[in-house]
Structures are given as C-alpha cells and as structure tokens.
C-alpha cells in the first residue's frame, strides 16, 4: 500500500504568523563555475500568510540575512585581512554615540576588544618618528612659545633647571633632558634606599607568590618581567620549575625577603634617573617589545603591561644581596639611555617578540662590575616612563611611602 504525504508547499495550509517563517540558505561547498546549491534562491518553509507572497516574505528577511552572510565571511579570512575588515567597524562602534552600531551584535558581529585595538597601534613606529621630531632644531623665535606651552600643559618647574633660559634649548630633546641645579635635589644620607627619580609611587611592598603589582590589584609575573636568572659567567641557570625555585635564585641570604617599588614618571617630571643606593651593576638585559603608555590608567587596563613593553633590566648586588633597577619604555619614550653602556640601542625597527639581549659587565679585567654610588647619574628617558626596583633586604626593611604620593629624586624610599 502506498501512502501519499501532503506537499510542504501546499498553499491551502492555514495562516501562520510571520515570525514563524524560517529562511534557509545553502552555501556552495567549493569554488568553480556554474550554479551550486548555494546559488539557488532560498527555500521558504511554512505557508504564506494572508496577503503576503513568498517573495515579499524573503524581502523582509533579506537585510539581516545578507549581513549575517557578509560578516560570516570574516571567519574564513586571513588574520591581517580580518583586522582590516573588522577594525573600521570596531573604531566606529566605540566612537559613535548612542550605541549606533550595537544592532550589529544581534547578527553575530563582535567588536575587537579595546585592549587588542590599542595593542595594534604602531607605537614603536610613532615613537621613532617622535624621537626624530625631537631632534629637529627649532628656530630661535619659536622656542619660547613651544616650550612655554609644554610647561603650562604639564606643570614643569623651570626654576629648578640648571638653565632657565628657554632659548638655550635647541630642540625638544634637549628640553626634555634638562639638568637640575645641584641644590634642587639633595640626596638623603640617613636612609639606605632613595628614590632614583621624580615621579609618582604606583605601588610598593613585599613580593608575594613571585608576582609584582604594577598597580593595586593588577599583577605580573616576576620571572616574565626579569627573565631567567643568569650567573656571573653569563650562563643561564636551569629553568625554574616553580615559583619558589625562581625566588631562591634571587634571594641569596637566609631570612631575607624580596621587595619592589614602582615609580611612574609623568611627562612634566625630571627625566633622568640615578642610582638608588650603593651597589654594583653586573648584568644588563634588554627586552625589545611594545611601547604602550604606562600611565596608571593604562596599567589598570592591560594586565602584565610592563612585561609587554620594552625595558632595560640592570641587576647586581648591594650590601643585603640581590638588587635590580628596570627602566620601562613607553609611548614616545623608545629611547632609554644608560650612561655607562654604549652598546645599548633601544627601539630598533625589527625585533623578535619575547627575545632579549644579555650583556655582562663582569670581565677578566673587571671581575666585580660597575660600582654605583647613591645618587650618581645612571641614565635618562625621553618624555616619561616608569622605574621598577626589585631588591633583596632583611625582613625588618620598612618603606617610608604612601601609594599615590609624589616623590622626588633623593628622597627616602625606605631603610632598616
């Protein structure tokens, strides 16, 4: 016995609500000429509601369907093409008022995150361009207006400068790296560790679980920041298998602890940094990387920001054991200069992500390294950046600081 089934396209089926109409489109599975299944018109299921033809129903659903198909092609594109196609929409998504592009999220489109969007900005290229612009000599008549605008914007105190005459500085670079009067920054002799620069205290305290806080509540890995520990012969130790083993490579004396202090240099601050204590520099490690802004707001936004940015890590020893000073680069601050290290070149056009360059100051002729006195000139930035101190000290070491306070070079950080 043969059973006959009613046709699905029977026009005599009772009316249905338009919201229950479904549109199905099949895509061709492969390229090639001719019509494939995906080139056929969409098949409509469900009966036609009264007064509406099948073509009219398809026309009602077509805009959303076309947008889905268009945006769905992004997943098949290469990564660079995907960025070019989706980022213009992402920029408009964040800039346009009243959520003008939010309906796009209903058809499957998702904007690139703000962090990923910011990381894509060519900050290294912009910093090199800014560095070259800083070297351009300004006409004599233009120097006072330009420098006065900068002084007014960032609150620079020119009364502390060794040369107060603005016409003396031929370009912006000389103005950024201006020297101070000798009496402007007296060095505190009562405390064992002083501030290496002017700036703002972002965070300080004892290092716990091999993690350091860049700002309150946002941490980064100590090993990722400093890199693997090296010996005096400049040979890497075996990789640390746990947090405790890496910490044991840094803490050389029983009963000591690791401490850290993060100082942010604003654009209007004094841009040179000095030795924070009496110590010996034995090793330099240069991490090429990004040059994202390191202001406190950005540090709260991007996790492990200091590990992504270009930085120069100086390590050595002081009277209580391990001591390190790290100069972290930032946007428009690709130039990090260490006065006694002429082989250091930062913000190179090309670099390998995650790589680093080591240089040892311990040689056969100099088996100790570079001795530094407290307050001695150590290096300089262009514009502003961050200094991170990580050092070993006894358990009774106390900081004389408050989070968020302004500090100047020569003032006390802490002592025993």
Q: Which residues pair with 194 in a beta bridge?
A: 412
Among 260, 274, 283, 320, the one annotated catalytic: 274
Instruction: Name the residue with tokens 């006894």.
Output: 394
Measured distance CA(145)–CA(410) in Å, rounded: 32
Measured distance CA(351)–CA(364) in Å, rounded: 31
Which tokens hold the place of 357? 């360059």
Among 86, 195, 197, 198, the one annotated catalytic: 198
Q: Is 274 a catalytic residue?
A: yes
Residues with Cβ within 8 Å of residue 92, at least 6 apart in sequence: 100, 101
Do the beta carbons of residue 78 and residue 58 sit within 8 Å?
no
Q: Is 385 a catalytic residue?
A: yes
Among 282, 290, 324, 385, the one annotated catalytic: 385
Which tokens hold the place of 268? 């209007």
Do the beta carbons of residue 122 and residue 114 sit within 8 Å?
no
Do the beta carbons of residue 195 and residue 411 sit within 8 Å?
yes
Which residues are identified as catalytic? 198, 274, 385
């Amino acid at each position: 016995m043969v059973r006959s089934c009613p046709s699905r396209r029977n026009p005599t089926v009772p009316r249905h609500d338009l919201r229950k109409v479904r549109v199905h489109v099949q895509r061709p599975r492969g390229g090639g000429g001719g019509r494939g299944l995906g080139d056929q018109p969409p098949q409509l299921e469900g009966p036609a509601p009264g007064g509406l033809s099948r073509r009219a129903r398809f026309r009602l659903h077509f805009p959303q369907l076309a947008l889905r198909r268009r945006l769905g092609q992004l997943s098949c594109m290469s990564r660079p093409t995907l960025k070019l196609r989706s980022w213009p929409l992402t920029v408009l998504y964040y800039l346009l008022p009243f959520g003008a592009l939010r309906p796009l999220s209903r058809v499957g489109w998702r904007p690139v995150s703000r962090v990923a969007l910011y990381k894509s900005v060519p900050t290294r290229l912009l910093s090199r361009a800014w560095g070259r612009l800083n070297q351009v000599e300004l006409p004599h008549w233009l120097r006072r207006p330009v420098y006065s605008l900068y002084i007014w914007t960032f609150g620079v105190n020119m009364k502390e400068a060794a040369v107060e005459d603005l016409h003396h500085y031929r370009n912006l670079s000389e103005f950024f790296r201006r020297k101070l009067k000798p009496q402007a920054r007296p060095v505190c002799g009562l405390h064992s560790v002083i501030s290496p620069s002017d700036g703002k205290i972002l965070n300080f305290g004892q290092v716990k679980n091999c993690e350091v806080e860049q700002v309150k509540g946002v941490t980064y890995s100590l090993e990722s920041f400093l890199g693997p520990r090296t010996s005096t012969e400049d040979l890497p130790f075996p990789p640390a298998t746990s947090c405790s083993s890496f910490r044991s490579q840094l803490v050389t004396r029983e009963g000591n602890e690791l401490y850290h202090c993060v100082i942010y240099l604003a654009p209007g601050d004094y841009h040179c940094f000095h030795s924070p204590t009496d110590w010996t520099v034995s090793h330099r490690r240069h991490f090429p990387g990004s040059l994202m802004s390191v202001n406190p707001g950005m540090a709260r936004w991007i996790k492990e920001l200091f590990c992504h940015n270009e930085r120069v890590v100086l390590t050595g020893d002081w009277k209580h054991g391990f001591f390190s000073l790290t100069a972290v680069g930032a946007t428009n601050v690709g130039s990090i200069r260490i006065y006694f290290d002429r082989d250091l070149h930062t913000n190179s056009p090309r670099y390998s992500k995650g790589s680093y360059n080591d240089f040892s100051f311990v040689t056969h002729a100099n088996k100790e390294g570079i001795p530094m006195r407290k307050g001695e000139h150590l290096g300089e930035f262009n514009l502003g950046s961050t200094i991170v101190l990580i050092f070993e000290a006894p358990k009774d070491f106390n900081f004389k600081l408050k989070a968020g306070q302004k500090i100047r070079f020569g003032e006390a950080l802490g002592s025993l």
